[in-house]
Structure 1
Amino acid sequence: PEDADPEEFHIRTLAPVLGSEEKARGAVLYHYKHAASGFSAKLTTEQVEDLKKQPGVLQVVPSQTVQLHGNEGGHAKTTRTMGLM
């Protein structure tokens, strides 16, 4: 929701999957809130499946390492979109 604090929204979304807001806070590695709203967290396969069913969850993307290459105008280039389009 636009009027919600992104970090609190992420915690409330993850809490039902992990059993408490405290556990959700402990699992979150990073909050994304500028270009997109989301978070990264350490989850089991079962927790990922539960998270996909939560209201407001549009997409769950597995972690991936992105290899940056080249340098054009001071900006690194990559051909990967990381699911964000």
Structure 2
Amino acid sequence: MSSNERDHPRTRLNNELQLIYGSDAAKHVRWEDFARGPPNNLTWYSTVYIDDMKYGDGTARTKDDAKDKAADKACNDLRRERLGQ
């Protein structure tokens, strides 16, 4: 795995979830994504839930960027929780 792939927000979130839940990690995460605005000027909103608790949200011009922002926030919060900070 390249450094770029390891640093990707959704990859980091997945890795953090696997530390906590092991191979069942995917069963604990849920995404909600939607767009608003005119078709030529959409704004995407993404929220990630872990065990039905909101852990991160993101807003961006593309769906992928919104998901990355939400994943980044969630990963940082999970890491702080796991490390007891």
Tell me if both proteins adopt one fold, taking TM over 0.5 as the criterion: no
Higher relative contact order (CA 8 A, sep 6+): 2
Question: As a proportion of its length, which structure holds more helix?
Answer: 2
Question: As a proportion of its length, which structure holds more strand?
Answer: 2
| Structure with greater Cα Rg | 1
- State the TM-score, normalizing by the size of structure 2: 0.34
- State the TM-score, normalizing by the size of structure 1: 0.34
